[in-house]
Amino acid sequence: MHRIKLFSLPVFFICALLFPHRSAADQPDSLLILMQSELNREMIELKKTSLPPYYIDFRVNESEETEIRSSFGSITKTRSDKKRILNTRVKIGDYSFDNSHAGSKTNMGRLSGFSIPMMLPYENSADAIRFSLWESTQANYKLAKEVFTSLKSSPVDSTDENRSVADFSKETPSQYYAPPIEPLERTFNKSGWEEKIKNFSKLFLVDKNIISGNVFLQINRERKYFVSTEGSSVVQNQTYCQLMIDGSIRADDGDVLPLYKTYFVLTPADFPTDDVILKDIHELISKLEKIRNAPLADPYTGPAILNARASGVFFHEIFGHRIEGHRMKDESDGQTFSGKLNELVLPKSINVIFDPTVSTYEKFSLNGSYAYDDEGIKSQRVEVVEKGILKNFLMSRTPLNGFLKSNGHGRTAAGGTPVSRQSNMFIETSDPLSDADLRKMLIKECKKQNKEYGYMFEDVEGGFTNTGRYIPNAFNIFPTEVYRIYVDGRPDELVRGVDLIGTPLTMFAGIKAAGDKKEIFAGICGAESGGVPVTAISPSIFVNHIETQRKVKASVEPSLIEKPAPADK
Amino acid sequence: MNNNFKFILVALIFISATRIADAQKKEDVVMKAMEDELSRSMNELKYNEYPKPFFISYTIKDSKSLTIVATLGALMYSLDLPQKTEGARVLAGDYDFNDESLDNDITSAPGRNEIDMPVGDDYDGIRRSMWAATDNIYKNATKHFQRNKMNLADQKKELKDIPHRSFAKTEVTNFVVDSPIISCNKPALENYVRELSAEFNQYEDLISTHIVLSFKRGNDYFANSEGTRVKTPFRLASLGLDASIKTADGDNLQAKLNYDASEPGQFPSTGKIKTDISEMMKKLLAKRNAPVFNEDYSGPVLIEQQALAELISITLFSYNDGLVANNEINTGNGSSFEQGNSPDSKIGKTIVSETMTVTSMPKMKTFKGTPLLGSFDIDDEGVIPPDRLILIEKGKLKNLLNDRTITKPGQSANGHGQGPGVISVSFDNTVAKAALKNMLIKEAKSEGLEYAFILKSVVKKGVSSVPGSSSTSRSHGDNEVADLDIYRVSLTDSSEEFVRSVKLNSISTKIFKKISAASNDTVVQQTEQRASATGVLSLLLPGAVLFKQLELSGSDKPFHKDDIFVESPLKKNRE
């Protein structure tokens, strides 16, 4: 048996906005000038063609990124680079019907709204920039033309509900210019951080059952440029700073149990002190050791409390993705909330708000914040659920019946095509209960349902949901820390091997109360337009009926010989 | 590979005496970590009732990879990435019958408990990484070996009577060349690439252009439980320049320049490369009005050195095909190799023209002053190859390049675990190069043809790709050739005319069956070859070879006539 092993580590990252405090009236930079002049030239020239576009935009994501990884006290990756990704969107037809029209079943039609990304030079040589913008426009105009021709030549589908709604919303052009922020190398001590990260991950060597002990630092400075033929010109900055710690321990039955701790900040200087991080890692290791000896849980139905962080992920996955507006135009989507506008979808005490305009919450940075979305639309606070009643959807420039304008939630990763995505989600309750009261409710409900115990989901690592209609419209949340709360007063019992599963409407109907303390769950949400940074700020919730299933179990055998002892021992 | 490449004579793998002395004083952390963990694993590994491993080997590639990409005078990407990658092999059983013997599923997937290899010379980290990998691979190997034993028992046959894989015994070697990983002046190289890419700004008809410079350097480490220790430095710098234009009828024409050297300092001067760019562009632009070939041709073709080298590389030395021994065994599952197409079955048979001889000479360092970049002294399994290994003699297949895995009787480990390095291709029927064209015309006439062809160069796919862009994966034969620089030769006045959109059909070893003559010179061509130990295949071959009968046809690549919608911003008259 043999193996050649190459590095192929998964990349996790978390992001936040850095709003510059300087005036937007500063002198535009040369990239912006080049983008605007080439955009004008392209539009003027393409207007002369037989199938002229009615809209073009250029979006450039310029990133400067440093990534350092360590494992058990060794640096396993260190990299710093910069790049620019260009995406050109060309629209042919008009606002009511264009090459992004959804629902076509032809091969070309399936590419509706798609655009081809490419790398752009990161140096502002006029010839090189203009040439790359031209190359990209050529390719994307050609694609748009072929898709539009295919859509127009397809027989009119009388069942196409999207025909009654425009394909692209009319919006007021935006003007925003943030001056550049300092390059990373001037503000970030890379070698100092390498040493720190080595020392952090070294702590995992303490327990022979710990099979992975990793620390990952990512520092990213991003500058986003957006210009459109409607006259929008938006230049904004973001920084992405994340320190992620993960450890996994092997249980005696071979199962592998992970725990995570993530710090998200705007700049490296904002990270907690080393003492705080070291203390947190010690706590994480201690928790790993406890989980290792925890019993495996059997499938369960009954009452549960989702603590604040777990509840944030739950709302993001199960609720948030279902109020992303563009899904209501997708025939293959389950469209859970399509016909539920102005109906009660959550308890009357619950409000759900998405607000990318807020950059901090109780001194914590929120990574779902931005000044303008990736379609150049100013970010807006959107009250999606008021007193339990569905009032709104998250909208990009893809309109819906009754929602003809964007509310600043058209988002994408670099190189993608924007669709409606989540930002900072706030779950609020008009009737907050203390943790003790939630616990009392749980025990009371357990007794009513004749259950020996209920569940408390303390922390989760993430989850996924299927919003399509071809397979069940279900969700799966991956808890990392779960306790049984016994009705007879026995101490809470840590268990392992639990996944929280269900279907959305049943679960929403089961939410009976929410807590008075909120926590922040920050992460990168992956969907059609790639990974975008999001935050959920949520209280704990009490649900009268949840369902769990056994988690996929690993079967890692114990090592045959001890991990080699460090040379200095 | 451009033949105008100007090499500077330097000792590639040896450094100054002072540096060697310094290196010897300092213990090599990587080798020490490999040795210590190897020794501990051999002594202590034991899995239930199963036997200990009889063989373990570790490989570490300790490298730095610089990639710089630019277009039209501006950088798009620039990264010098340090990296260590490891490989491990753990065998259960014995040399004749072990866990790899009876099926083709011989790799072990990484386990959940594996640990990444450190970037630096981190003794503890390297040991931990090797320890975790060894543990997983050994467990899988022992289980696999038990399964093999049961399968063998079920078959009720002697091992010698069924297709199987064994592991060759080889001599223990100690081959250590100390050389630190050299640093490079990244800002200077960025300027160099920037300056060269700016040369293209003057060509207003371009539809695409990039320059990619890569410089990979480092050390290959190998240690095994038999006692072999190897440390060899590697350095390879490549510079690729490409440009595309569009013809009036919508054909995309592409031209490329490639330079390979041990270090970027050995690339030709910027002045020389600028001249090459100018010539390349002049030639490319001149091709715009060339006729399109849209018929079939079957007859003699004269192939010149660059094209000849690429065709040899593609047909004779692709992974697990041609002259590289294939390690698959016939398990009855029906893959092409299992159906009797294995090159091993052709040993002793005539497979190409009886005038053709192919010899591996991996240790040859230079040829007439030109450094041979594919040269190696020891393979990636620590086996020293012979100075000369005849692969084909007068058309007859004599040997295949092989590693320590033996799948057929008569095979042996011959120090080519990672493929070819330096290969000589010669022919008995030679004439002066100048006479070949006349022979071509004469042969075409005798066949009643209207014209003949000279193939001067081929562009392979997937070379000098831009990081992040979709790259073309390499496969065998026709699919690897992107474009031909081919000329139609008049049989009346011997004039040459470039023709567009030509495809060389059925690219395989069979094209070498009928060779009319070869030129009596020997030239060096160096081509990227992923199956080779160094990433480069150095070929010593005639400057041109006349193939008696090749088949050409019109290419099926689509033309897109009307897809320049807006004039390029490089057009100077746009103001």
Q: How far is CA B105 from the centre of its chain?
A: 25
Say how far apart CA B397 and CA B358 lie, in whole Å.
9
Chain A, chain B: beta-carbon pairs less than 8 Å apart: 202
Q: Which residues contact B516 (CB under 8 A, 6 or more apart)?
A: B300, B429, B439, B443, B546, B547, B548
Residue B85 touches chain A, beta carbons under 8 Å: yes
Contacts of A8 in chain B (CB under 8 A): none
Q: Quote the pLDDT of residue A40.
A: 98
Q: Which two tokens stand for residue B355?
A: 């005038």
The pTM for the full model equals 0.90
The interface predicted TM-score of the complex, written ipTM, equals 0.89
Q: Please state which of the ranges A121-130, A155-164, A304-313, B489-498 shows the lowest mean pLDDT.
A: A155-164
User: pLDDT band for position B555 (50/70/90)?
Assistant: confident
Interchain proximity A211–B113, CB inside 8 Å: yes
Interchain proximity A1–B41, CB inside 8 Å: no
Say how far apart CA A271 and CA A169 lie, in whole Å.
41
Mean pLDDT of the B520-525 span: 97
Interchain proximity B76–A76, CB inside 8 Å: no
Q: Quote the pLDDT of residue A471.
A: 72
Interchain proximity A3–B133, CB inside 8 Å: yes
Nearest to A260 by CA among A461, A508, A533, A503: A461
Interchain proximity B106–A1, CB inside 8 Å: yes
Q: Quote the pLDDT of residue B556.
A: 79
User: pLDDT band for position B320 (50/70/90)?
Assistant: low
Interchain proximity A122–B76, CB inside 8 Å: yes
Mean pLDDT of the A272-300 span: 96
Interchain proximity A2–B137, CB inside 8 Å: yes
Residue B48 touches chain A, beta carbons under 8 Å: no
Q: Quote the pLDDT of residue B113.
A: 85
Min CA distance, A566 vs chain B (Å)? 6
Residue from the list A5, A129, A131 with its beta carbon closest to the beta carbon of B110: A5
Tens digits of residue pLDDT in A11-46: 222 222 333 333 334 445 899 999 999 999 999 999
Interchain proximity B75–A559, CB inside 8 Å: no
Residue B207 touches chain A, beta carbons under 8 Å: yes
User: pLDDT band for position A161 (50/70/90)?
Assistant: low
User: pLDDT band for position A568 (50/70/90)?
Assistant: low
Stronger pLDDT, A59 or B501, i.e. the higher one: A59
A 234-273 residues inside an 8 A Cβ radius of B? 248, 250, 256
Q: Is residue B341 pLDDT above 80, yes or no? A: no
Say how far apart CA B404 and CA B224 lie, in whole Å.
13
Q: Is residue B478 pLDDT above 80, yes or no? A: no
Q: Quote the pLDDT of residue A28.
A: 53
Min CA distance, B350 vs chain A (Å)? 35
Q: How far is CA A495 from the centre of its chain?
A: 28
Burial annotation B306-337 (CB, 10 A radius, 16+ → b, else e): bbbbbbbbbbbbbeebbbbbbbbbbbeeeeeb
Min CA distance, B379 vs chain A (Å)? 16
HSE-CB for A185 with a 13 A CA cutoff: 4
Strands A389-390 and A410-411: unpaired
Mean confidence (pLDDT) of chain B: 88
Say how far apart CA A322 and CA A320 lie, in whole Å.
5
The distance in angstroms from the start CA to the end CA of chain B is 39
Tens digits of residue pLDDT in B153-203: 998 889 999 999 999 999 999 999 988 888 899 999 999 999 999 999 999
Min CA distance, A181 vs chain B (Å)? 21
Task: Cite the beta strand spans of A122-275 per DSSP E.
Answer: 175-177, 210-228, 233-250, 256-265
Q: Is residue B470 pLDDT above 50, yes or no? A: no
Q: Is residue B81 pLDDT above 90, yes or no? A: yes
Residue B433 touches chain A, beta carbons under 8 Å: no
Write down the residue that tokens 């009660």 correspond to: A344
Q: Quote the pLDDT of residue B333.
A: 65
Residue B263 touches chain A, beta carbons under 8 Å: no
Contacts of A248 in chain B (CB under 8 A): 112
Please calculate the CA angle B455-B456-B457 and round it to the nearest 5 degrees. 105
Q: Is residue A534 pLDDT above 80, yes or no? A: yes
Q: Is residue B18 pLDDT above 60, yes or no? A: no
Question: Computed from CA positions of residues A401, A404, A409, A413, in that sequence, does the dihedral angle turn out positive or negative?
Answer: positive
Interchain proximity B85–A7, CB inside 8 Å: yes
